[in-house]
Structure 1
Amino acid sequence: MKKPISEIKNPLTETIVDLFQQHVDEIPNEIAVVFKDLKLTYNELNLLSNQLAHYLISEQDVIVGDLVGIMLGRSEMLIVCIMGILKAGAAYVPIDPEYPQQRISYIQDDCNCKFTFNQAALDNFLVSKAKYADNAPSTVSLNPNDLAYIIYTSGSTGNPKGVMIEHRNLLNYLLSVSHYIDTNSNNSGCFAHLSLSFDASITEIFLPLIFGKKLILSSGTGLEIFDDINLFNYAPFNFIKLTPSHISILISVINKEARPQLANKYIIGGEALFNYHINQFRSSSIDAIIVNEYGPTEATVGCIIYEFNTFEATPSSESIPIGKPISNTQIYILGENRQLLPANEVGEIFIGGNGVARGYFNREDLTSEKFVPNPFDTDTKMYRTGDLAKWLPDGNLLYFGRLDEQVKINGHRIELGEIEAALIAIPQIKLASVILSKLDTSEPRLVAYLQPKDSNEKHPNVREELSKIVPSFMIPNIFMWVNDFPLTTNGKIDKKNLPIPEYFRPDSAPVLRKPRIEIEEKIAKVWGEILQVSDIGIDDNFFEMGGTSIMAVKVVAEIEKNTGKRFPLSVLFEYSTVEKFARLLNEGSQIYSDCIVPLKSNGNKVPLFMVHGGGLDVLYFANLSKHFDEDQPFYGIQGIGSNGFDDWHESIEAMAAHYIQAIVKINPDGPYAVAGYCVGGIVAFEMTRQLQELGKEVSLTLLVDSYADSSYYYKTHKQKKLIRYYHRTRRRLTFLKEMLTSWDGFKKRFNAKKEYLLKRQFDENNTMSELDALALERFVEATSMMHGILDKYHLKPQSLKVDLFRSKDHMDHQLAPTHLGWKKAASMGVTLHNIPADNFDMRIAPHDKILARMLQDILDKRHANI
């Protein structure tokens, strides 16, 4: 395991400008910056930034210590501006042009920038730049204690706060992580794609330039940040910096271009890093160094790092350690009384050393609160992070989350108080409270609770009003109006007892038409109870009103109980409004449908047929269908016999044969793209075998989180039973070993898993309602039917190739971690694709889109010539 650099003597008498100038003198004609087709050499960057410095000094009266704003998009001139501002002796203040005007105005007013480079100001300079000298300003003498930049981060008082970073802070960080750059290689420095307002961009921008490397700037934005030909034209890179959320986006681009060795190092920060993130690199055969970098803006980008190779064993299936402090940095884990804590005790992280910022701009009160005297190093300050961690026995740190209400979403650090203050600024809102909730998904969501000033006044469009004040990443997902707030004994809002987030009728919903007949009233009542929506109209779509596949199971179970009729979940997809569903029930006909469910029947591409999982239904494929190309047909295959539920299949072979008859009617000539979810992967594999025996062409066999148990490869019941006993014993021994070596760790993991499963399936009290019991009974019955025939199945190796999509649940599978048992079955190979979600979450936002796009890419590549 590679360790971070230990204490080194950084030449902190120099500045960024000094180190950059060394490479201007040594390699003036080497490329420094690339943006699209534009290139700047080190000499050109130097001359342009000198001219810009003279412009600031002579035209804008900028002197040492002044602040200059930068409100520009990514381009080669962005780097010229940064270097020119520093050469003028000023500090730069990045302001994202995508921020709402109110936030931009606040930052500009708060820091009182002497001048701000927006696009118009930059154009004015470029028109007149010829009249400014291109030598370094002789009147400027930089000191390591001078400010280099101020970055504004989310503030708990309602406004962002500016963190002041000096040249010495910046240089200490950059030289401490100098090993990110391989000075002996010809590789490019890095591919920079992060916002200048995000301090992680510091590494991208400065590290290549102070070591004479190429800085490649991304021309993409949003989800297209890696859709830039220069990402491959200038590869390999010394490093690429990412948040965990970026990993799946980058990996999909790498796989698409078949360029696994894009960078030597991947620096990952902004959010907690887990093994399942790293497994995405491994499954794509990316051999690289991963650096888990931790650090608040107040400690200059990163102050703790943990390095390992993608193919080295990582400590556990939990969070990866954040590592050890960088050079000239002291980390203290302190208790409630600010006493040092021993290893394995969780406490708050305090940071000391050369990376600690000067403080907050114009906020002496907050500076004295967060930057406190260091009792362990006289006459120095330490920064109180509000983060929790503990020392591991090997000297590394393990992160445990936030102490206060500051949260991170997609790499952005957010203080809930700032959102609350922005909400209260809306005239119609009296009081607001914001929480982070996970609801029915593992993805965190912001929920805002709002108390109106006048209960009789029409509620404003809060989302629209808030977007004028805060960035998009700070806008809550759900807004709930309340009459009053629960309070604690000391009069504060009791956030633990706020009502459970619920769905509110959107403006886009149909005009409410209330139920007219008894059957419509009964259906609306069932839907309303399960959706937790008070008013359900007969035109409201179950799924558009927030319905999920789990809710659909409950709806079907309740209606089956009341009517005595049995029908598949797919009818809820086909008859998705109260009016349509009532008409179906009123007709009194036999309620079952064919095994084929046309989730998306339009399009002229080769259709994709996906077999159900253990629950036999395909309703949870509905969200997936929305993210395929417009002309991509997508059919679900639900678990129904040839005569509905009364005629169950005798074997997997019979089930596959029945499904083949159905898909051949839709696509008589082929080729066939067959997929299977979970246990449906076994059926899809058998369908492929039978189709090939029939002389049909199978272009793709896609297995989505499907596991081929080793017992399937044995023919007799006795053999199957013996091998299952062997694996069951092996698992129990593993659990026993874990219990004996670390009982506390085992108990914590076991209880956490139990709580997760209960909350996933039932309510916050971990109790089962009558509907839950009915739904569970239906699911157990379905899985029992499925496994009854699955246990008899003999899986025979075939001469074919499969694509396997693994969830993070299966990436650490004890018995078959790599190919989930399929390598023996598919003799022509198994292509792995990792999905950064568990088995449940891969079917819901945002992971459903990722899965759908991965499937679409494979379909398009395989059928390119059809």
Structure 2
Amino acid sequence: MILQGKRVALPSAPVVHKQFEAHAAATPDAVAVFCAGQQVTYAELDARANRFAHFLATCGHGRGAKVGVCLDYSIDMLVAVLGTLKAGAAYVPFDPAYPSARLQLLLGQVPDLALIVASPATAGLVESAAVEVIDLGQLSDYLAGLPATAPAVSVTGDDVCYAVFTSGSTGTPKLTAVRHEGWFNLMNWLKLEYGLHQGSNNLVVSAFGFDLSQRALMTPLFCGATQYLMASRNFDAMLAYRMLTEHEVRVIHCASSTLYLLVDWETARGGDALTRLDYMLFGGEPLKFERIADWARREGNTCTLLHQYGVAECTDVATSYDLAGHRPGGQQVAPVGRPAHNTDIHLLDAQLRGVAPGEQGEICIAGASVGAGYLNTGPENQKFTTIEVDGEPRRVYRTGDRGYVTEAGELVVLGRIDAQVKVRGMRIDPTDIERALARLSGVREAAVVVTYTGAGEAELTAFIVPEGEDLAENDVRTALLETLPRNMVPAAFITVPRLPLSPHGKVDRAALVDAYMNQPAGSATAA
């Protein structure tokens, strides 16, 4: 079974920052970025990025280099990102909201990292890395003396533009690389398919290290619009909604859980900032349409909801579905729609053969969006494989997701084939958390599963077999926060005498949930 996206011709050198440069030349005085009361025009941002690109070139960090960026959302962040791209290098986002120990782990997974761009507020998080850390503020005088024009660097569509971390099946984070062609194709599709333009101003509401954030950051600059950034290291619903009411924001890219929070905020206060948006593009986890149904049907709501699907390994978005056509009563799971331009969806069986229409299969992605592979792990690159289509070889990425195609030709995602899970839009391997728990004093073994609240929200629950006395939840949580990002710390901790095993000798997570999740609140927990 194959779903084919529309074929659209791309430039000979499909490079995202060239689109930004074209807008800087055509509308130099238009506002490119607004953050914390400060703003910068397209011409000013272009000049600052060019100077940073020349700086990288003088350091020998040009085409093919990898530059780490560990900055809070700011104008400097965009200077670093655009300057890195202009130099022909690829940027690697390091989220400053992560604990230092986690950042150190991630830094160790980047082969041949050239340098790290940080600030006084973030440098301490990465200062022990065996790589140079620079501060754009401290370099301002030197940068001012460098050319404000773009460096003469040849960048192709096959070059890597950025690399982001995803969870690995071995418990080690994977660094997946995205190509310029795939990134350009994604933004060009969004622009053409949904009519994004110079007025399609965007507000970023997701963390910098998230794959979704990379297209959220760059799409408005690709279209000549204004990018609004929140001066907050973690998501702040109150700040986000205030910015929506105070500025002419038209577009938001977010995870489904963030959409629920924003809708709840607006519903509780009787506002209309969300309903006045042009688009909310969201996905990353199963949609609970009932959470937003009443809001979506509000009189005067002109916001188009685009339910999207994709993976970091294939430039984040592969399909999209307009929820205006969704009828929950006739279908339990909302579709994620049809492929983006120059993108195909193959549904394959375990032998990589196409399944029949209507049958379930593994979702495999082919086309322009397929990335360059993992930079820090060889075996995992087997997920990038080749199949034969009409007698011709075709490179695909095996997502590990299971799905089928409706009679209307819409893709439906049913869940994961492997152990990875999605919580609040982030793909997480529970073994990452289990390993961190096992390293804690007083923990003999642990299992982490996804459970659901009364409202149907996914959350992580840790079942812990202690060494001796029960553990205090606060102690466990505090210890985990020293090594794991907040979104990977379980919401609940339950102490158990042992971990039950299945007939195959593996931990029976379903038995844990059945045995302990129906207990009264507070009983048998590590709190």
TM-score, L = length of structure 1: 0.54
Aligned position for 2:125: none
Find the aligned partners of 1:529 and 1:161 in 2 and give their Cα distance.
Answer: 37
Find the aligned partners of 1:260 and 1:36 in 2 and give their Cα distance.
Answer: 21
Aligned position for 2:208: 196
Are 2:175 and 1:162 aligned? yes
Q: Does the CA contact (< 8 Å) of 1:342 and 1:391 recur in 2?
A: no
Structure 1 residues 377-417: Cα deviation after superposition (integer angstroms, max 9, x where no partner): 74432111111111111111112122222111111111111
Aligned position for 1:364: 378
The DSSP-based 3-state class of the residue aligned with 1:433 is strand
Aligned position for 2:136: 122
Are 2:319 and 1:304 aligned? yes
The DSSP-based 3-state class of the residue aligned with 1:498 is helix
Find the aligned partners of 2:469 and 2:257 in 1 and give their Cα distance.
Answer: 42
Are 2:281 and 1:282 aligned? no
Find the aligned partners of 2:68 and 2:109 in 1 and give their Cα distance.
Answer: 12
Q: CA deviation at 1:234?
A: 3.3
Are 2:33 and 1:33 aligned? yes
Q: Higher mean Cα deviation, 433-442 or 113-122?
A: 433-442
Q: Does the CA contact (< 8 Å) of 2:404 and 2:411 recur in 1?
A: yes
Are 2:255 and 1:243 aligned? yes
Q: CA deviation at 1:259?
A: 4.1
Find the aligned partners of 1:529 and 1:69 in 2 and give their Cα distance.
Answer: 46
Match for 1:13: what amino acid? Answer: A
Find the aligned partners of 2:329 and 2:6 in 1 and give their Cα distance.
Answer: 22
Q: CA deviation at 1:440?
A: 5.7
Q: Does the CA contact (< 8 Å) of 1:4 and 1:307 recur in 2?
A: no
Match for 2:322: what amino acid? Answer: E
Q: CA deviation at 1:308?
A: 4.7
Find the aligned partners of 1:439 and 1:149 in 2 and give their Cα distance.
Answer: 36
Q: Gaps spanning 5+ residues in structure 2: where?
A: 121-134
Aligned position for 1:292: 307
Aligned position for 1:336: 350
Aligned position for 1:417: 431
Aligned pair partner of 2:188 in 166, 175, 189: 175
Matches within 5 A, 1:760-839: none
Q: Does the CA contact (< 8 Å) of 2:241 and 2:273 recur in 1?
A: no
Find the aligned partners of 1:424 and 1:359 in 2 and give their Cα distance.
Answer: 30
Higher-strand-fraction structure: 2
Find the aligned partners of 2:172 and 2:193 in 1 and give their Cα distance.
Answer: 35
Matches within 5 A, 1:749-768: none
Aligned position for 1:150: 163
Asked which structure has the greater RCO (Cα within 8 Å, sep 6+), the reply is: 2
Q: Does the CA contact (< 8 Å) of 2:203 and 2:249 recur in 1?
A: no
The DSSP-based 3-state class of the residue aligned with 1:134 is coil
- 1:425–1:321 distance in 2 versus 1, CA, 3 Å: same
Q: CA deviation at 1:97?
A: 0.5
Matches within 5 A, 1:642-657: none
Find the aligned partners of 2:513 and 2:253 in 1 and give their Cα distance.
Answer: 39
Q: CA deviation at 1:425?
A: 2.5
Q: CA deviation at 1:74?
A: 0.9
Aligned position for 2:124: none
Q: Does the CA contact (< 8 Å) of 2:198 and 2:223 recur in 1?
A: no
Find the aligned partners of 2:200 and 2:36 in 1 and give their Cα distance.
Answer: 15
Q: CA deviation at 1:116?
A: 0.7
- 1:133–1:24 distance in 2 versus 1, CA, 3 Å: same
Match for 1:272: what amino acid? Answer: P
Find the aligned partners of 1:224 and 1:115 in 2 and give their Cα distance.
Answer: 33
Q: Higher mean Cα deviation, 117-126 or 393-402?
A: 117-126
Matches within 5 A, 1:44-193: 44-58=44-58, 60-111=59-110, 112-120=112-120, 121-138=135-152, 140-179=153-192, 182=195, 187-193=199-205
Find the aligned partners of 2:476 and 2:516 in 1 and give their Cα distance.
Answer: 16
Matches within 5 A, 1:527-538: 533=523
Structure 1 residues 776-806: Cα deviation after superposition (integer angstroms, max 9, x where no partner): xxxxxxxxxxxxxxxxxxxxxxxxxxxxxxx
Structure 1 residues 804-857: Cα deviation after superposition (integer angstroms, max 9, x where no partner): xxxxxxxxxxxxxxxxxxxxxxxxxxxxxxxxxxxxxxxxxxxxxxxxxxxxxx
Q: Does the CA contact (< 8 Å) of 1:55 and 1:125 recur in 2?
A: no
Structure 1 residues 103-152: Cα deviation after superposition (integer angstroms, max 9, x where no partner): 100111211421111113232223432122212123x2212111100100
Find the aligned partners of 1:333 and 1:79 in 2 and give their Cα distance.
Answer: 38
The higher radius of gyration belongs to 1
Q: Does the CA contact (< 8 Å) of 1:305 and 1:325 recur in 2?
A: yes
Cα RMSD, aligned residues only = 3.0
Match for 1:250: what amino acid? Answer: L
Match for 1:54: what amino acid? Answer: H
The DSSP-based 3-state class of the residue aligned with 1:290 is strand
- 1:391–1:282 distance in 2 versus 1, CA, 3 Å: same
- 1:5–1:364 distance in 2 versus 1, CA, 3 Å: closer
Match for 2:185: what amino acid? Answer: N
Find the aligned partners of 2:500 and 2:262 in 1 and give their Cα distance.
Answer: 44
Aligned pair partner of 1:211 in 223, 226, 230: 223
Find the aligned partners of 1:530 and 1:249 in 2 and give their Cα distance.
Answer: 27
Find the aligned partners of 1:15 and 1:485 in 2 and give their Cα distance.
Answer: 51
TM-score, L = length of structure 2: 0.87
How many residue pairs align between the two structures? 504
Q: Could you tell me the percent identity over the aligned residues?
A: 27
